[in-house]
Structure 1
Amino acid sequence: MHGKLWCSTINEVMEPIVQRMEKQVVKCIARSWLIGTALLLAGCAGGDESRARDVVSSFYKMHQSVRPIGALTLNELITFRHFMSVNLFDLLKDTSVAEEARIAQSAQADADPLPPLVEGDIFTGNPAGASTFRIVNCDIGERDSKCAVELIYSDAKLKAPAKWTDQVLLTRDARGWVIDNIEYAKGAAPMRSGTLQAVLTKLLKRDTLPLQ
């Protein structure tokens, strides 16, 4: 009898203690899960920025190696294809096709060559191109991102190097981050203004005079 009372008393004392311990364990697990989730999300965000920077950096390194002038050639289209979104690549390709058509038209007519559709480097705000680049910062979103890139063009003929900042707009597709547009830095001529996509679209619509 005394044994049963003793067990009953022990159970009454221990039950609330066990319940409190269970609640504390649940809280600890929940807290750990929240912390882990936050760290995972932070890691994903950091990884996203790193991947976006890698794409932009690789693009400009390739750009410095190729140094494209005017509408892209077939080899240049192939070289830059994997950096570009479908929309941007289609515009670049259509511009190259239009340029080839103008050259063929001049040859068939045995006339003086028509002025090029694109004059200079289409990928930078400065038609003369860029000598060096530096990624200043990147603003990363879920589907779209933007990286500010400082560009410098040096030439012995210039009193001082030209410096400006273009904005590279990225979007996400099945391949990951790809370049969808370039927002040119605004400045006095010969610096371009607007965006790469807008310039190409305008160029293809009028297809008459060279675009500077």
Structure 2
Amino acid sequence: MKTKTIAAVFPLALLLSACTTVDPAFKDIGTRTGGCVEGGPDTVAQKFYDLRLQQGPAASLPDSNRLAQLQPYLSKVLYQDLVTANQNPGKHQVTGDLFSGNAQGATSATVAGASTIPNTDAKNIPLRVQLSHQKDGGSAVNWQDEVLMVREGTCWVVDDIRYLNVPPHAASGTLRQVLENQ
């Protein structure tokens, strides 16, 4: 009799266990007080680079107008670092394009897709970016950088850019290091 009861209850318990919900590994993914750009990490990163290309290369720190346009794409920390750098222009003698591994900036950018990342609860995702600078009538210079995307609330934002081939104008390996070391 006991085995019949267990045999009858086991399939029912198995069926009920399949109906439970799974909570994400990270419930608290932070907050975001500013605007939010729609899309996953790769989509937001591509939109960021598209805006940067539209703005044209910056020979130094972005001015307040460019920075305001970039704010929805940037993490709170990176945005604040750029604001602080703009408020102390004498301290931050930046030459060349901060957002790429080439002093002249990029004329095209293609962000690698994030579709192969298995962890949907990820809080940060590094993505490779293929960049190039096409000189007028000349040959193109190609290189790669890595953009670190982080979650703030439900938004994906740029938190840092790692120069894979440290350019002479940067003297450091990442955008935030350049801002800190200047």
- Give the TM-score normalised by the residue count of structure 1: 0.65
Q: Could you say which structure has the larger radius of gyration?
A: 1
TM-align CA RMSD: 3.1
The answer to whether structure 1 residue 163 and structure 2 residue 150 are counterparts is no
Give the distance between the partners of 2:22 and 2:180, measured in 1 at CA: 44
Choose 131-140 or 148-157, whichever is displaced more: 131-140
**Percent identity of equivalent pairs:** 21
1:51-200 pair list within 5 angstroms: 51-69=40-58, 70-99=60-89, 117-138=93-114, 142-156=122-136, 158=138, 160-174=139-153, 176-186=155-165, 189=168, 193-200=172-179
> Which structure: greater helix fraction?
1
Unaligned runs of 5+ in 1: 1-11, 42-49, 103-115, 204-212
Question: Does the 8 A contact of 2:71 with 2:79 survive in 1?
Answer: yes
Q: 2:13 aligns with which of 22, 26, 36?
A: 26
Cα distance, 1:17 vs structure 2: 4.2
Cα distance, 1:189 vs structure 2: 4.8
Q: Deviations over 1:86-112 (max 9, x none)?
A: 22112211222223x69xxxxxxxxxx
Other structure's SS at 1:119 match:
coil
- Give the TM-score normalised by the residue count of structure 2: 0.74
Q: Deviations over 1:108-155 (max 9, x none)?
A: xxxxxxxx9222211000111112111224456732221111111111
Structure 1 residue ranges, 4+ long, deviating more than 6 angstroms after superposition: none
Q: Which amino acid aligns with 1:63?
A: R
Equivalenced residues, count? 164
Other-structure match for 1:7: none
Other structure's SS at 1:65 match:
helix
Unaligned runs of 5+ in 2: 26-38
Give the distance between the partners of 2:149 and 2:112, measured in 1 at CA: 15
Give the distance between the partners of 2:65 and 2:49, measured in 1 at CA: 17
Question: Does the 8 A contact of 1:124 with 1:130 survive in 2?
Answer: yes
Q: 1:19 to 1:175 in 2, by over 3 A?
A: closer
Question: Does the 8 A contact of 2:162 with 2:174 survive in 1?
Answer: yes
